[in-house]
Structure 1
């Protein structure tokens, strides 16, 4: 009797051992037309393993301790990042479920059943016309059951393996999405912070200009009282002063907007957040530029797109496995008795074991339609992946040329500013000598201030473009870190 349960199990294990491959295509990375170098990268520093950008903490290139602290707060408290991290944990849980399907399912059942039959009255007629009435007594019984059942679906055709492959790739894609969200939020915070510091510099420029204009107004007013200049000179000086003060006030609104945006990014209400002014703007870093092929490993969005191809490719195998029969091993054993006293005893034992094959013989083309859907989904992910790569190449080229143009424009603007300052010095001397009117001074002062602000604006644009270039290069991230996707320091469960 002991040999009976073993034979079906041995047969199934032998079939499983012989089935060494899974149905469906194995993944191969789609072919890409990748250039050898970026067209706009001439003159840029080549990336090396010791570059700060390669280590991942790319914001440290700007050398600002307060910025580094803000990034740490963003990584710990940003709610958009918390949402992406929760999605990653969901994908990771799906992988655990896919792995669990390789193991048998064991269940236990203990129960008591009470059943009844019969009861009531009936009448029996005899042949001589005599009727006899009687009653049937109700029959009530109890049954006590305790059993353990085991069910195991054998992965003969690789359906479970393909499902695990698909779920694992989806988990990797979710990890890359998490890295992409983190990089995007970090980039947004760094850009806002740098623009805020540029506004602080513009505010210092305007405040200093206001002080200079106040002195000019006082001087002009004294000259008017002495009868040296007309009343119109005083009016022009006051107009210029008030206009510059208005520009300084306008910067307060712009700065407040950036400060509020940074507060939300680090996960605090704007009312509880404040950034004090500092007396300098972070310097423009030297960004190391890698070769285009490195983007395939360095950009999270490209890595996520490729992992979705892997998942779609595995889904084809999952759907094709429906053409083949499923083999399930089932075993049940326990005790069944009508009496509680001798329930757990040898005479009341029972067991059953045996394999079962199940397959679809006719479905009107449903399986084929699902296979075609999976194949079309795969083609879509391939196209999306190639488009993502092309967009990555374009973004890097755009920011490289943007930085180059801003650099050359800044050099020319500096020359314009130097000329405006020299012109202002000469005009002021001529006005003091009484050879020109104040209107000429105002025009040159306005031009000089405009050139100062334009140069500061270009500085801010160069800093912003440098952040965008770093993000387009992947921010120092590497897809080898997919399985090491860091979770947020502040879990969503802590807020419940």
Structure 2
């Protein structure tokens, strides 16, 4: 012991008292979240296979507006349905409630980092220890005052917990945007499928009417003895089969109408959408749109925020190994008599500090670190999967649009040829140059090709909306 220590024992004791605190501050660096291995992150392709749009790294955009992308279809009925769904869809309301819950948890986590002040009023009665009297006297003590406590965040445990909850809230915000986008896309796809069915139903009913005209003609010729009864039976079969197809389309339309009712948050019994002409525009997709797909897809942003939160929680779990320091203070009054409680002579106060260091816990803290690490590994895998799904979705819709455009051209040629064949067959049948079976074959071929053309057109609309969803919103909001 040197002279300075002997001459200043108070300073010596102060330095030794601060050693645990300094050691904790030094160890705090060990409690920081581990760095995420870049090799564990998904590999981003240089370009999309279907187009020349290259990948452009940009900041995450989970809070970015998705845009009123449905307006490009120029259909007032669709616009009204999407807006109604945005106000009353139950899935959106659930996602909004989850976001409000996450923000409340963030405020709760931030509150743990602030001083805590509370009031206390109590009364106790018992023996007075240390009085030296036998038996010990019994006394009553009445207290009233304020208690102040504050946990010093030595190793950043509270800060890390707050950061993790903040990332959770950002993830919930992204999921809300994702839910809105999914609902909007579902409304658009269901509505467009319904309008395609309206067009197909009209086509089938027009064809059924043409078959009935053919049946009338065939029955007159049968009565005149020009054709056999077999020809009449064939036409009747075709009329009945076409009527059956029309009823099947009616059933499918009713199901789509009921699905729309659920999407806009209404009971199916109170919702109806009358048939109308299919006048919806088919927008063109501009080149280069997919370049920021990962930044604009809210589900990818949500998965990224969840991964980051799991990484922060690994550091929080590691911080449980290090000392904690809590400061406390209390002030108020204490008196054996209620009438003397608030006298100046009854005042009482106290301050304190408590430092706790874990020594043995049966492996609980180690298990906590392992659990947090497992959660991080799982969220990393989920994030990689979400990125791969995002690129697959874009590639699927781009290839679908390209191939459907080619199929539409080919199908248009098929419809043109089938229509010409029906016209010629009808003329030749009326003049007795071909059999009734030849006419039916031509009519069936025309109906089949026209329905196929409508289905290809419907698929183009579905793929366009699917691409909007895959891109994370409309290209006008980029």
Please give the range of the TM-score, normalised by the shorter of the 2 chains: 0.7 to 0.9
Residue 416 of structure 2 is aligned to residue 418 of structure 1: yes
What are the within-5 Å matches in structure 2 for residues 30-429 of structure 1? 30=38, 31-41=41-51, 56-114=67-125, 141-288=139-286, 290=288, 294-429=292-427
CA distance in 2 between partners of 1:43 and 1:23 (Å): 42
2:231–2:437 CA contact under 8 A, matched in 1: yes
Q: Which residue of 2 aligns with 1:4?
A: none
Q: Which residue of 2 aligns with 1:131?
A: none
25 and 214 in structure 1: CA distance in 2 versus 1, 3 angstrom threshold: same
Q: Deviations over 1:325-368 (max 9, x none)?
A: 11111000111112222221111111001222111123354323
1:22–1:159 CA contact under 8 A, matched in 2: no
CA distance in 2 between partners of 1:478 and 1:206 (Å): 38
398 and 274 in structure 1: CA distance in 2 versus 1, 3 angstrom threshold: same
Q: Secondary structure at the match of 2:32?
A: coil
1:194–1:281 CA contact under 8 A, matched in 2: no
> 1:56 Cα deviation (Å)?
1.9
> 1:460 Cα deviation (Å)?
1.4
Runs (5+) with no aligned partner, structure 2: 1-13, 57-63, 129-133
Q: Secondary structure at the match of 1:153?
A: strand
**What is the aligned counterpart of 1:23 among 31, 34, 50?**
31
Deviates more, 1:163-172 or 1:406-415: 406-415
What TM-score, normalized to structure 2? 0.85
2:149–2:329 CA contact under 8 A, matched in 1: yes
Q: Deviations over 1:202-236 (max 9, x none)?
A: 11111222222222222333333344444333333
22 and 172 in structure 1: CA distance in 2 versus 1, 3 angstrom threshold: farther
102 and 441 in structure 1: CA distance in 2 versus 1, 3 angstrom threshold: same
User: Aligned residue pairs: how many?
Assistant: 444
> 1:27 Cα deviation (Å)?
6.1
Q: Deviations over 1:24-51 (max 9, x none)?
A: 137669454222321112599x9xxxxx
340 and 54 in structure 1: CA distance in 2 versus 1, 3 angstrom threshold: closer
Q: Secondary structure at the match of 1:274?
A: coil
1:88–1:178 CA contact under 8 A, matched in 2: yes
Q: Deviations over 1:46-93 (max 9, x none)?
A: 9xxxxxx98522222221111121112222222222222222222111
CA distance in 2 between partners of 1:278 and 1:451 (Å): 22
> 1:376 Cα deviation (Å)?
3.3
CA distance in 2 between partners of 1:41 and 1:195 (Å): 27
1:329–1:354 CA contact under 8 A, matched in 2: yes
2:66–2:472 CA contact under 8 A, matched in 1: no
1:58–1:475 CA contact under 8 A, matched in 2: yes
Deviates more, 1:221-230 or 1:81-90: 221-230
CA distance in 2 between partners of 1:292 and 1:201 (Å): 32
Deviates more, 1:107-116 or 1:72-81: 107-116
478 and 282 in structure 1: CA distance in 2 versus 1, 3 angstrom threshold: closer
Q: Deviations over 1:167-205 (max 9, x none)?
A: 011111122222222222222222111111000001111
Q: Deviations over 1:254-286 (max 9, x none)?
A: 000111111111111111110111112423221
CA distance in 1 between partners of 2:105 and 2:29 (Å): 23
181 and 241 in structure 1: CA distance in 2 versus 1, 3 angstrom threshold: same
Q: Secondary structure at the match of 1:354?
A: strand
Runs (5+) with no aligned partner, structure 1: 1-6, 47-52, 118-135, 481-496
Q: Deviations over 1:391-417 (max 9, x none)?
A: 211121122112212221121111111
2:33–2:313 CA contact under 8 A, matched in 1: no
CA distance in 1 between partners of 2:224 and 2:368 (Å): 95
167 and 43 in structure 1: CA distance in 2 versus 1, 3 angstrom threshold: closer
Q: Secondary structure at the match of 2:407?
A: helix
Q: Secondary structure at the match of 1:34?
A: coil
Q: Secondary structure at the match of 2:320?
A: helix
CA distance in 1 between partners of 2:29 and 2:73 (Å): 52
CA distance in 2 between partners of 1:221 and 1:24 (Å): 89
CA distance in 2 between partners of 1:104 and 1:232 (Å): 95
Q: Secondary structure at the match of 1:277?
A: coil
